[in-house]
Amino acid sequence: MERKVALVTGAASGIGAAVARALGERGAMVALVDRDRPGLERVTAGLADDGVRAVAITADVAAAGEAERVVAEAEDLLGPLDHLVNAAGVLRMGGAWELDDRQWNESLEVNATGVFAMSRAAARTMVTRSTGAIVTVASNAAGTARAGMAAYAASKAAAVAFTRCLGLELAGHGVRCNVVAPGSTDTPMLRSMWKDAAGPRATLDGDPDAYRVGIPLRRIAEPDDVADAVVFLLSDRARHITMQTLTVDGGATLGA
CB within 8 Å of 29: residues ≥ 6 apart: 3, 4, 5, 6, 52, 53, 54, 78, 79
Spatial separation of the C-alpha atoms in residues 122 and 133, rounded to whole Å: 9
Q: What is the 3-state secondary structure (H, E, C) of 57-82?
A: EECCCCCCCHHHHHHHHHHHHHCCCC
- What CA–CA distances, in Å, run from 133 to 58, 112, 178, 227? 22, 18, 8, 15
Give the three-state DSSP class for 176.
strand
Annotated active-site residue 211? The verdict is: no
Q: Pick the catalytic residue from 20, 43, 107, 152.
A: 152
Task: Count CA within 13 A, CB hemisphere, residue 162.
Answer: 24
Q: Which residues are catalytic?
A: 152
